[in-house]
A and B are shown apart, each in its own frame.
Chain A
């Protein structure tokens, strides 16, 4: 009937998704290791009423065509893996990654997942686990009665045992990198899973081959900028409103047509 009605509706739907993504970012502003997302849009199909450069007569051509666009649609919800802020916690088992890389954890199902949230704990057997209780991989066990745990920038975990003066190395935290980190699939609970587009995980030592270094006693906050999100929210909300106005205008024109018939 009127293309504008449906075109504007696609605009409203796109803006709704935009607001959804912004709301999720804002809800996770204090989530350790959270990476914000961004909704990207693209223009939808075009209805070509006349080809650009089509022949007008045998010797002349229309310099421009008539192509009417039919709205917009979401192209991607892209995760932005920028660095989050560091907060000092003084907890020896809190570890932040400065630079690229993710911690590798083993889920109870046996699957491997990846996280930037380094708020580690010890489980009943002394193994290093995430807040959810997933073991970090390769597994690191802190012996019972260890007096202090120190984690070096290269991931070396050393402990001081009672009655000993020298520290003992008990393991090394390794990190993974991906060719296309934005291609990871978010599992929730701060976890990501490998996909075909992310490429295979490349296990390495922190500080080497582009892997970021570790920082003990710090946590990486979310990389959500509240100001930016609020500005985006205002823009999204207004865009939604404006698209609804366009529906109103199309509706008004339809009403006028209907009145003629009445």
Chain B
């Protein structure tokens, strides 16, 4: 009897964590450079525990739904024009590199500013890395070319570093739109493969429709689990009442 209860509860818990991710995606629907999260589940089927003996079936473990992983959907978000010369978006793969007190971090959010020392930095003040380290911008009109070359008043100053990873699915999310690489080494993308768009930001790649559908589905699925739990509970109650009477 308990097997059914545990199977149902594992299903219900899975729906709860699905809803957490849906809420996370929807809360970040307007966060530039945000990448949607999806949960991956697996079903561990019921297994016989030990050998069946003549007439008596073997004890079976309950089937379980397990959260296998939360994966980041690294697909391209829509480019939104901002007309701000220090806003840059990446088209296609790659990450910008920023220097934080905790070490190098990687981001798709290109809403850069200039800090008080004239360095190109993120909104949080972390310097953006070029091929030769930090990028110091002299006064003037900043132009960022498609390959990431930064020029001020027509003269080249630096080139934005854009990196890719062998296993981007293992990047760790840190919040503040930053990813950390862990033991992986970033690889610089060749200039002809870099596609930087100036004056635009990459919007979140959250599909609001998809997440709303998932939300409805999750709520309903959870409801079904709870109904099933009620039914099992009722059966157990009857078993206790009726069988006890015989």
Instruction: Please provide the chain A residues from 170 to 198 with a CB less than 8 Å away from any CB of chain B in the complex.
Output: 177, 179-180, 182-183, 196-198
Contact B20 A2 (CB under 8 A): yes
- Shortest C-beta distance, B194 to chain A (Å), equals 23
Instruction: Please provide the chain B residues from 106 to 157 with a CB less than 8 Å away from any CB of chain A in the complex.
Output: 109, 111, 113-116, 118, 123-124, 137, 139-141, 153
Given contacts A52-B171, A179-B139, contact A4 B31 (CB under 8 A): no
- Shortest C-beta distance, B81 to chain A (Å), equals 9
Contact B19 A4 (CB under 8 A): yes
Contact B26 A243 (CB under 8 A): yes
CB < 8 Å: which of B23, B84, B116, B171 contacts A246? B23
SS class, residues of chain A in contact with chain B: mixed
Residues of B within 8 A of A4 (CB): 16, 19-20, 22-24
CA distance A239 to B26 in the complex (A): 7
CA distance A178 to B138 in the complex (A): 11
Contact B226 A256 (CB under 8 A): yes
CA distance A7 to B182 in the complex (A): 26
Is A167 an interface position by the 8 A CB rule?
Answer: no
Residues of A within 8 A of B19 (CB): 2, 4, 246, 249-250, 253
Interface hit among B47-55, B57-65, B67-75, B91-99: B67-75
Residues of A within 8 A of B193 (CB): none
Contact A43 B167 (CB under 8 A): no
CB < 8 Å: which of B83, B153, B173 contacts A82? B83
Contact B114 A179 (CB under 8 A): yes
Contact B27 A11 (CB under 8 A): yes
Bin the interface of chain B by size: 35 or more
Contact B177 A43 (CB under 8 A): yes
SS class, residues of chain B in contact with chain A: mixed
Chain A 34-64 interface 0/1 with B at a Cβ cutoff of 8 Å (1 = within): 0000101111111011111100000000111
CA distance A197 to B139 in the complex (A): 15
Given contacts A65-B70, A256-B222, contact A8 B27 (CB under 8 A): yes
Residues of B within 8 A of A209 (CB): 139
Contact A210 B153 (CB under 8 A): yes
Contact A235 B113 (CB under 8 A): no
> B28, B118, B139 — which one has the most chain A CB atoms within 10 A of its CB?
B28
Interface hit among A73-81, A124-132, A138-146: A73-81
Instruction: Please provide the chain A residues from 208 to 243 with a CB less than 8 Å away from any CB of chain B in the complex.
Output: 209-210, 235-236, 238-239, 242-243
CB < 8 Å: which of B140, B175, B208 contacts A45? B175
Is B223 an interface position by the 8 A CB rule?
Answer: yes
Given contacts A70-B24, A179-B116, contact A52 B215 (CB under 8 A): no
Is A71 an interface position by the 8 A CB rule?
Answer: yes
Contact A42 B31 (CB under 8 A): yes
Residues of A within 8 A of B141 (CB): 210
Contact A68 B17 (CB under 8 A): yes
Given contacts A4-B19, A52-B182, A260-B230, contact A71 B27 (CB under 8 A): yes
Contact A43 B82 (CB under 8 A): no
Contact A64 B169 (CB under 8 A): yes
CB < 8 Å: which of A48, A180, A182, A253 contacts B15? A253
Contact A52 B226 (CB under 8 A): no
Contact B82 A38 (CB under 8 A): yes
Given contacts A52-B182, A180-B113, A210-B153, contact A249 B27 (CB under 8 A): no
Is A23 an interface position by the 8 A CB rule?
Answer: no
Complex A-B, nearest 5 residue pairs according to Cβ-Cβ distance, in ascending order: A11-B27, A4-B23, A69-B24, A180-B114, A7-B23
Q: What are 5 A-B pairs at a CB distance below 8 A?
A: A42-B109, A63-B170, A182-B113, A242-B208, A243-B23
